Structure 1
């Protein structure tokens, strides 16, 4: 009859392989079950009359109605169930019963604010014995998140901190997919945070901190790309200021925007390069100063974050090195004798930072970088600067020379050999020896470093393995 057809369902259960098992086709009703002491969903098999399901409607269980003919819920942490109805009217009827028990409006699509891992797909092609299809199980490629509103933050916290989600790779991936879908994560980081901070809603701000902190542990590249976008990253940093475990709010944004000195040593014309430099500085700050240090047992905890920084630094170095106008300007400024001590130090520290980034390059790219420095006569620019009195400047110069030697001592040996044929030229090797002998440090820190540099340059063993004329 019509009632039987309306209530005809397929029962599905999610197995350990995250696939939906068909537990049979039957007819569902909501009845009072004395043994369960409450209203229950009862599914009786149409094949043999056996009971396929007897599940009490719990007041705090999250039931979801999906695509008009599907009801999904978790019976326990490890048991996910779904009823796929043959007709929409039958689904509406049972959904009304569930909402009535829980005191919810039947117009809602989720009765509680917990995660549901399942999403329905369209009906399958499998026919029953009577030729009618009851649909197919929900897909497992996403998690259903609560509405992106301040009042639902507590439920979002439950989702992103759930051990059953974070400990299983498949569930983590589905959580990532849901966060990225329709700009959900961006709205959490920007819209919700700005609303909460403007209202000084400390409870919501603490919940946002819990959400974002745990999202970092997802360690996902696509998530980081959203969170570190130019119009989002400062909001993310702002959220991380409101750690409910600390009595005093941090001031990370005030430090980054006002107290940290962003010095543009050279005019960078490319807006995307300038943006990437600022982004890299802020992400590095998050990694070094805000996030907890990964334990020695979990070095890969923030591996994608480190990878994000790595790619950015390589891109920055390549963009600068490929900008011949910018590189020419750098060394022209270093040669300018009218520079103030502060300006000389800024330029030298900039070059030192480029050399530090070079250790991230692949050997062919690294070789091109140092050859570019030699073409701009970098060593000729640096040698006279050793005569300056600034200790920080001389230490940076030594760091730059070590970068050359670590890449290839032959570069410095060739340069020193060429110097001997030039008149009225201050030899770099003599400058290094002089600096080593006149180190004012009682512990001879700089002298020992310079001695190590010279030893590498004159080490006969390293020369024997190379047929370069300078050796």
Structure 2
């Protein structure tokens, strides 16, 4: 503590108590002085040579702070004084002076605050006072000890004395002995006092005290004391029984460091106190105290795991193919690594990356491969959670090269998504794959400092990383991932199959929207994935799967991409969708609403070229189905309006000397030029014209394109 200094003068009125009345002795300036011993000195404001009050600070005088501007006390001769300060800051300054005097020169004086407590009148709170000496607990002094601990809670000096008393003088040992004696004698009153004493010590929020609670020779007694809570006299927990029967220190790989072993035990006990024994009692200060202790312990444990040259290599050696491993021990290793990753998740990004990278470098992939071959579902679940935790932090950590996706990891996840019968695991694998393929996650990943993917300024070019990363995905894993969409589903009624294909629909939707368009579109069209999505609309499949496919198709349409739209039209991908629309026509349900939303999307964007092409295709081929719903009728009407506008536009362009337009027979035998295509497109709304159009397409030997032909296409077809 800093040396005590005199205070600056503060304007004040001096009062003395005479015949039960406070008498004003004048106004002056009060200072806290040290010369000749600590004292208050008040000089007259009109005549500084006149002293209104000189009051020595000594003995066991108790000073009271009332409201914000009064200090009242009775001196050793029984005289009552009061100082009424003009400003609260003046009162606060003199109170701080008194506190410093109590801590350094006169330890027996005290300062209390008199606080109004509503209907309960006034109560006093000790600000500074004599530090009482702690005493050992006995069967007869527990009430006094509890009162002493409550009084000393606000005194740092008392806490220091008590801590020394606990650590060096055997205070906890005596407390636990008293507990066992009173428990044996069934003295509930004393047991309740003991519980309140331990709770009071917890509320001190001192890490040094909590450290003594989790010692080997103290934890059982402390937990036992806390079983007897006066607030719940009719209930008693069995925390000691749980500690004795349910907990054991199990080593998958022997830890050579006794310090780390002890740290693991102490950390578990702190968790047990925080989350079980004291869960409903902890205030913010004590909760933060225990949480900080746990965090520091876990930091040391993770540093040991990462840096110890023997632990991780020995652990991952369990998963070598050549090793005659114990399956039970290998499963315990999965649980252990899973716990470590969850602990590391609470730390800052850099130590997280360092720990995860150490696991991967030492052979984490071997553990994951074993887990997904293991028949125990728990192993696969823990391994999937482990993967998700790491890749959510940084998707590139599993990659040996920052520009290539790790095919081993994603192959494992794809295998789980496509083959594992557990629906929960499929969903986890889907989420993990989605995280791995998210360009935003790739851009935010922590790249090696020696990366060669830099720009002119030496900074990492994330676009190069993203491009190389995704290219490696489409060259390797993408074909395996989406291969089921190129095949017919074997058992459409299976829940597992439904989940698999629904996830594939979402992943296809995701890569089409988020990935570089050139990469994703080329892959999707070359592998006919949209045709596979279209087939999922069939009536024999589950409603959930049909809706998933519909969402995917709608998302593809919303991209407003000419190549996608051309593929949809040329391959009649929307055929099954229109069948579903016919099934649910004029039904007030979710399926019909989802179908109509696609038509509404086309109608809303009818001015755009690609949506116009879709509209004309739907009107030409499915006008009978469209006519079953109001939105479909509106779509047909918009096509009629467009046809009339087109005819009017062409009429204005034709010169008076232009030859007559060929009749229908001549048109059927003429080349499919762009002009003819536009004329045919205008006539699609009538059934007889559609029939003739089919004949023309059949003779042309190719699928009709709604899109306007280029001059080169026109020349080649001619």
1:368 is aligned, of 354, 359, 369, to 354
Structure 1 partner of 2:289: 304
Structure 1 residue 13 and structure 2 residue 62: aligned?
Answer: yes
Q: Give the structure 1 partner of residue 660 of structure 2.
A: none
Alignment of 1:138-153 (within 5 A): 140=129, 142-153=131-142
Shift in Å at residue 277 of structure 1? 0.4
Alpha-carbon deviations, 1:259-286, whole Å to 9, x = none?
A: 2243111111111110110111111111
Following the alignment from structure 1 to structure 2, what is the Cα–Cα distance between the partners of residues 463 and 402? Answer: 14
Quick check: 310-319 or 176-185, which moved more? 176-185
Counterparts of 2:240 and 2:441, CA distance in 1: 49
CA contact (8 A) 2:60 2:110 kept: no
Supply the distance in 2 between the matched residues of 1:185 and 1:149 (Cα, whole angstroms). 18
Q: Check if 1:180 corresponds to 2:163.
A: yes
Q: Report what 1:288 is aligned to.
A: 275
Matched residues in 2 for 1:302 and 1:177: separation?
Answer: 21
Which whole-Å CA distance do the structure 2 matches of 1:71 and 1:328 have between them?
60
TM-score between both structures, scaled by the size of structure 2: 0.44
State the distance in 1 between where 2:301 and 2:293 align: 12
Instruction: Give the direction of change, closer, same or farther, for the CA distance of 1:184–1:333 in structure 2 (3 Å limit).
Output: closer
1:193 is matched with which residue?
176
Change (3 A) 1:247 1:77: farther
| SS state at 1:324 partner | coil
Task: Give the alignment's Cα RMSD to 1 decimal.
Answer: 3.9
| Correspondence list, 1:154-169, <5 A | 154-161=143-150
- 8 Å contact 1:219–1:301 — kept in the other structure? yes
Rounded Cα–Cα distance in structure 2 between residues aligned with 1:222 and 1:16: 33
1:101-250 correspondence runs (5 A): 140=129, 142-161=131-150, 171=154, 173-183=156-166, 187-198=170-181, 200-201=184-185, 202=187, 203-244=189-230, 245-250=232-237
Name 2:308's counterpart in structure 1: 323
Question: Highest relative contact order (Cα 8 Å, sep 6+), 1 or 2?
Answer: 1
Q: Indicate yes or no: 2:431 matched with 1:445.
A: no
Give me the whole-angstrom Cα distance separating, in 1, the residues matched to 2:191 and 2:397. Answer: 55
Contact between 2:315 and 2:333, CA under 8 Å: does it hold in 1?
A: yes
The answer to whether structure 1 residue 275 and structure 2 residue 275 are counterparts is no
Residues paired across the two proteins, number: 356
Q: Structure 1: which 5+ residue stretches go unaligned? A: 1-8, 27-42, 45-49, 54-69, 80-115, 119-138, 421-426
- Rate the CA distance shift 1:338–1:281 in 2: closer, same or farther, 3 A: same
Q: Select which of 233, 245, 256 maps to 2:243.
A: 256
Instruction: Provide Cα deviations, 1:181-227, integer angstroms capped at 9, x if missing partner.
Output: 33379744322222331452433332111111222122222222232
Paired with 2:130 and 2:355, the residues of 1 have a C-alpha distance of 45
SS of the residue aligned with 2:141?
A: helix
**Residues in 2 aligned to 1:212 and 1:178: alpha-carbon distance in whole angstroms:** 17
Native 8 Å contact 2:263 2:297 kept in 1: yes
Match of residue 412 from structure 1: 398
1:10 Cα deviation after fit: 5.1
1:316 CA drift (Å): 1.0
Judge conservation of contact 2:334–2:382 (CA < 8 Å) in 1. Answer: yes
Quote the residue 2:434 is aligned against.
455
The whole-number CA distance in structure 1 between the counterparts of 2:344 and 2:324 is 29
Q: 1:122 is matched with which residue?
A: none
User: 5+ unaligned residues in a row in structure 2: which ranges?
Assistant: 1-57, 83-105, 116-124, 445-461, 471-718
Q: Is the Cα–Cα contact under 8 Å of residues 371 and 380 in structure 2 kept in the other structure?
A: yes
Secondary structure of the 1:229 match is coil
For the residue of structure 1 that corresponds to 2:224, the secondary structure is helix
- The CA deviation at 1:318 is 0.9
Q: Is the 8 A contact 1:141 1:174 kept in 2?
A: no
In 1, Cα distance between equivalents of 2:111 and 2:435 = 69
Q: Which is higher, the Rg of structure 1 or of structure 2?
A: 2
Q: Which has the higher helix share?
A: 2
Instruction: Flag the 1:435–1:181 CA change in 2: closer, same or farther, 3 A.
Output: same
Q: Give the aligned partner of residue 334 of structure 1.
A: 319
Query: Shift of residue 448 of structure 1?
Result: 1.3
- Structure 1 position 322, deviation (Å): 1.3
d(CA) in 2 for partners of 1:335 and 1:198?
55
